[in-house]
Amino acid sequence: MSGVDWITIPRSEIERCGILDGDMTGRFACFVKCFEAEAGTGLTVKISANSRYRLFVNGISACTGPAKGNLNRWYYETADLSRLLKNGTNVLAVQVLYQERHDTDMQSERAPIFGVISPAVGHRLFVEGEAVAPSGKRTDLSTGAADWKCRLESGYYLVSAESTSLLGAIIERFHVDDVIRSEYKTDPAVSRDWVTAAVTEPVIPDRTMSSYGLLQTFPLRERDIPLLSEQEESFARELTGTSCLRTGSIYALPGEKTEVILDIGFVKNTYPEFQIPAGHGTIRFTWFEKFTREGEELERDDCAHGEIGGYSDLVTMGDHAYTFEPFWVRTFRFLRITIASEEAMQLPLPEIRRVVYPLEIVSDVTSSEAWVGKIYQMGVRTLQGCMLETYMDCPFYEQLQYPMDTRLQMLFTYCLSGDHRLAAKALEDMHDSIFPNGLVPGRTPACVPQIISTFSLYYIFALWEYYENTGELAILRKYRGDPDRILDYYDSRIGSDGLVGWPGFWPFVDWQKEWADRFGVPTGRQDGPSSIINLMYGYALLTAAKIADTVGRPFLAEEYRTRQKAIAGKVREYFRDDGEGLYRDRQDAAAFSEHAQSWAVLNGLETGSSAAALMRRAAEKKGIIPVSFSTSYEFFRANETAGTYELTKKQMDKWIRLIDLHCGTCPEEPLHARSDCHAWSALPVYEFLRGMTGIRPLDPEWKRIRVTPHLDYVKDLSGHLYSPKGIISFRFVKTADGSVKKELSLPQGMALDEEQTCRTET
């Protein structure tokens, strides 16, 4: 990229638009380069922008970025555009969104997209590329070397609404006559009179700057995850009876409101494209996940009784046609199109391209129990819906990478595929963002800082599990100091009673109605220490000990285990209710939760038959606070450890119920969920492939495995499971006497644990 420059909007263009300093957040700049090419010309470009861009070649979406990073790690993409070129005049068009980097009111209409961090230097773009024709002719298209035209969009800016208040401004509302003609992406005549973009600074700093250790505004690094895939989609059905799916268009009568509701099958991330005709009137596009009704749990597609929430884009028609393609992904299952036109009009149905992280899924599972396959597919869709340039909690709302959610998504990914690039990026995102106090942000990357103190513990779990599932020791070595900083923070919160007191900030555990007044926190400062949070800390100490041992720090590992024993002993002393035979949530009240019992087993406070008895007493306890979808993983693992996996049936029933509710993806919570596609709820993917099969590696290289299937509430299970050694084929069938017949096909270099070899059919 030597000799390539960043370009920007010249000051004269900003003055022409009458935009004041500090009023650029949510505004677009459009950059264009037109050039001649022969048939068969090749073109590969490197590209990045501030804050975000979409690249079009002859009107066709070609690349989106940059991948979400931070101020010390700014990405550029490499894209092969050859297939999109044509003989004759070609148009490279880049739509660039800029947002200031600053703390903001999350409820503000102009709030920036929270998952995007950018330096406050205005719109920036660089492109490096040379078109090479079969004849040998070369055309340099790089910014700085070639003149690029540009124009600032002054007709509108992105806005936020109630549904996007935790995401930021993505909504588009404008009058067609007031904005840049959409044909700038295809017609050179549209941009002929635009101004020439201004050159700012070199992409690669000069030697003097680098010699003195001066940092770049954009510390560039090539994107380390693949480009997102765009796949053509079609609507599954219409819910309003206008036959538009058959005709391919919506017909509106003059002076009347025409409304159509379409179902795309399940929640998807998309780039839609609408061909807006010339005319007089408005077209509103409302995107939503499900139909709802206050206080009731409806079938997701119950349009007869349900109400519509979501958010809306609004286009006011004008004197010419317009191609409306929202800049940010539109996430939805249902789309309501409302037309109010002064004359008869025809609106073609949109082209829809689903946007996905190109995860190659090689695992699968089937069973004679029909619900297994349905829930498995629901979980896979949920995971895919929450993976783009980062893992996301939910694609419809925040679209943010939370350590608690992300740790689970990483585990689900390891079950399905050998592609762990997004998982590695997530760990780097968390590492890079650690605060001076040692805690990881509650979500990262994010331009609005937040600390959810318990989520730092999940980062420790995720670090170890990455190594456990990939065998990549370099990751542990690179981040080995992070657990110590987090655990030291928790150690500093230990009081005279030997327990962690109030952890500070927001120590979220789970969304429970009993904890609603504390926003998901099981105990507050006024209530004293929480057994759950202390046990989470204890388990983090045990996990960190494994990390320390693995990277060659045995004395630190021993220290962690000693500290865990002390915490576990205090929890037993202060929280175990001998009358109930359970662990209380806090010392001064007989409040019990499945969370506390699960973490107690995982910490080894109860083992063997004692652990089994504890989990069974918890299952029989009336009024005990149950785990939600978000905290079910520990509940399943505790029952697996205690030998009581059959007790997980009551939790799995909550997922099975989603089938009758016509869910296509897994919602945030079992009942009355806000989001209908939420990362942590894809747990059945893990349970079918690892929990029920009981296939567990005994070393990170998967040289030896142990197989202890749990067919407690399924008759049979078969499929394929990814491992670093290759695909494991399995078939388990429950026999009449309750034992399990096992059939396994293992990849080369993998062996069963010696204890099982004699009793496992292979």
Q: Would you state the structure tokens that stand for residue 422, as one six-digit string?
A: 């997004």
Banded pLDDT at 103 (limits 50, 70, 90): low
CATH number at residue 89: 2.60.120.260
Instruction: Convert the pLDDT of each residue in 692-703 to its tens digit.
Output: 999 999 999 999
CA distance 87 to 133: 10
Asked if residue 406 has pLDDT above 70, the reply is yes
End-to-end CA distance of the chain: 55
Identify the weakest region by mean pLDDT among 80-84, 297-301, 585-589, 744-748.
Answer: 585-589
Q: Are residues 370 and 386 in the same domain?
A: yes
Quick check: 473 pLDDT over 90?
Answer: yes
Q: Of 652, 674, 691, which residue constitutes the final position of a domain? A: 691
**pLDDT at position 759:** 44
Q: Is the dihedral of CA 440, 466, 682, 64 positive or negative?
A: positive
Write down the pLDDT at residue 404. Answer: 98
Whether residue 290 sits in one domain with residue 271 = yes
- Which pLDDT belongs to residue 105? 73
| Residues 494, 612 share a domain | yes
Specify the range with the lowest mean pLDDT, choosing from 133-147, 195-209, 425-439.
195-209
Buried b (16+ CB within 10 A) or exposed e, 85-98: beeeebbbbbbbbb
**Same domain, residue pair 112 and 187:** yes
Exposure of 724 in the CB half-sphere (CA atoms within 13 A) = 18
Using the predicted structure, report yes or no on whether residue 597 has a pLDDT greater than 60: yes
pLDDT band at 526 (very low <50, low <70, confident <90, very high): low
pLDDT at 104: 63
**Is pLDDT above 60 for 691?**
yes
* 618 and 519 housed in the same domain: yes
CB 693 within 8 A of CB 722: no
Dihedral sign (CA 676, 678, 683, 685): positive
pLDDT band per the 50, 70, 90 thresholds, residue 222: very high
- At residue 207, does pLDDT exceed 90? no
Kindly report, residue by residue over 542-579, the tens digit of the pLDDT.
999 999 999 999 999 999 999 999 999 999 999 999 99
Is 668 found in the same domain as 547? yes
- Residue 473 dihedral angles phi and psi, to the nearest 5°: -65, -25
Confidence of residue 198 (pLDDT cuts 50, 70, 90): very high
pLDDT in tens, 653-686: 999 999 999 999 999 999 999 999 999 999 999 9
Kindly state the average pLDDT of the residues 98-107: 75
CB 651 within 8 A of CB 632: yes
Alpha carbons 231 and 679: distance in angstroms, whole number: 21
pLDDT at 581 exceeding the cut of 70? yes
- Nearest of 173, 186, 181 to residue 322 by alpha carbon: 181
User: Where a domain ends, among 668, 691, 714?
Assistant: 691
Same domain, 716 and 617: no
Look at residue 761 in the predicted model and tell me its pLDDT.
Answer: 42
| Sequence-distant (≥ 6) Cβ neighbours of residue 46 within 8 angstroms | 1, 76, 77, 78, 126, 127, 128, 129
Residue 557, Cα to own-chain centre: how many angstroms?
33
Give the model's pLDDT for residue 607: 97
Q: Which residue has the tokens 């070369």?
A: 138
- Can you tell me the mean pLDDT for 605-626? 97
Model confidence over 232-268: pLDDT tens digits? 999 999 999 899 999 999 999 999 999 999 999 999 9
**Which SS3 state, helix, strand or coil, does residue 23 take?**
coil
d(CA 700, CA 690): 15
622 token code pair: 């009336």
Give the chain's mean pLDDT.
Answer: 95
The Cα 188–Cα 33 span in angstroms is: 9
Structural domains counted in the chain: 4
- What is the C-alpha to C-alpha distance for residues 658 and 375, in angstroms, rounded to an integer? 8
- pLDDT tens profile 323-338: 999 999 999 999 999 9
Is residue 408's pLDDT more than 50?
A: yes
- What percentage of the chain reaches a pLDDT higher than 70? 98
| Residue 205: band (very low, low, confident or very high) from pLDDT cuts 50, 70, 90 | confident
pLDDT grade, residue 30 (50/70/90)?
very high
The pLDDT tens digits of the residues spanning 153-169 come to 999 999 999 999 999 99
pLDDT of residue 527: 73
Distance CA 234, CA 232 (A): 7
Q: In 3-state terms, what secondary structure has residue 240?
A: coil
3-state secondary structure 368-422: CCHHHHHHHHHHHHHHHHCECCCECCCCCCCCCCCHHHHHHHHHHHHHHCCCCHH
Q: Report pLDDT for 760.
A: 45
pLDDT at 107: 79
Query: Could you tell me which residues are beta bridge partners of residue 91?
Result: 34
**Range in 17-26, 334-343, 599-608 with the lowest mean pLDDT:** 17-26
Q: What share of the chain is helix, strand, coil (3-state, %, to 5)?
A: 30, 30, 40
Give the span between the Cα atoms of 429 and 694, in whole angstroms.
32
pLDDT at 195 over 80: yes
pLDDT for the residue numbered 525: 60
3-state secondary structure 81-110: CHHHCCCEEEEEEEEEEECCCCCCCCCCCC
Do 323 and 224 contact (CB within 8 A), yes or no? no
pLDDT at residue 588 in the model: 82
* Domain final position from 171, 200, 225: 225
Q: What is the DSSP letter of 689?
A: I
482 and 338, same domain (yes or no)? no
Q: What is the pLDDT of residue 758?
A: 41
Mean pLDDT across 99-111: 78
Domain identity same for 574 and 645: yes
Task: Please state the length of the chain.
Answer: 762
Query: Do residue 308 and residue 172 come from a single domain?
Result: no
pLDDT at 215: 82
528 and 619 both lie in a single domain: yes
Both tokens of residue 426? 């997530």
The residue ranking higher by pLDDT, 143 or 524, is 143
Report pLDDT digits (tens) over 121-134: 999 999 999 999 99
Backbone angles phi, psi at 365, to 5 degrees: -150, 140
Closest Cα to residue 301, out of 342, 240, 361?
Answer: 240
Q: What is the mean pLDDT of residues 369-382?
A: 98
Query: What's 466's domain CATH number?
Result: 1.50.10.10
The reply to whether 576 and 697 lie within a common domain is: no
Structural domain for 730, as ranges: 692-762
